[in-house]
Structure 1
């Protein structure tokens, strides 16, 4: 069956959440937004492309930092309103230079940092 990104369910702003997960380790790396064109570009180039809400522009992960996300597989959830990008991640995925954006744990009402920035 051919995939048409127009069949996805985008929010009122034309965006869909995309979770990046390491294709080998299974570690959840980050979440960002895609629009229809970002999905198309990601599939065409195999370099994960997101839509920056703050800059109102496309950004290819790693374009300026070198911390590239190479697409291994793109998966659609059952409601077609969320994407899972299985990626080969080069370097840290988070703009804080951590491997994952999910580096803070909330336990008993307190936050605890789980990982330090990568050097």
Structure 2
């Protein structure tokens, strides 16, 4: 039985070895998994990015969030140049293992535009409205 079915049928508190679960992640054709960053104390969704195995393992090992930059084809250590780091508080895989939720402590804006999160374009009445201004420094 695959590990995702085992976890689906598991009782609360049951555990599986992390290495076995990571090996079972259904990485996409590019070797990536969707990663959603969420502020741990408010629940605010900050951003969506991608992780490969190396980025995931680095994040879990160091506690500093690392993604895979699809445009640059390299590891992207969040906040490395801006200082707007994400400290990992908790990580959770979804039910079939193809997405990871990173509950983080965000330092500074999460979005490269300087906004608190990347979801500032609200779809309202057949219009798209910018609902968040960049944070002042």
Query: Considering the TM-score relative to the shorter chain, is it more than 0.5?
Result: yes
Residue segments in structure 1 that go unaligned for 5+ positions in a row: none
Write out the 4+ residue segments of structure 1 that deviate beyond 2 Å after TM superposition.
none
Bigger Rg, which one: 2
* Secondary structure class of the residue paired with 1:39: helix
Match of 1:77 in 2: 94
TM-score normalised by length of structure 2:
0.85
Match of 2:3 in 1: none
Across the two proteins, how many residue pairs are aligned to each other? 119
Q: Distance in 2 between matches of 1:65 and 1:36?
A: 24
* Secondary structure class of the residue paired with 2:18: coil
2:54 counterpart of 1:17 = no
2:66 counterpart of 1:52 = no
Moved more, 59-68 or 1-10: 1-10
Flag the structure with higher strand content.
Answer: 1
Flag the structure with higher helix content.
Answer: 2
TM-score normalised by length of structure 1:
0.98
2:108 counterpart of 1:112 = no
2:121 counterpart of 1:90 = no
Residue 65 of structure 1: CA displacement? Answer: 0.4
Residue segments in structure 2 that go unaligned for 5+ positions in a row: 1-15
Contact 1:106 1:112 survives alignment (8 Å) = yes
Q: Distance in 1 between matches of 2:81 and 2:127?
A: 34
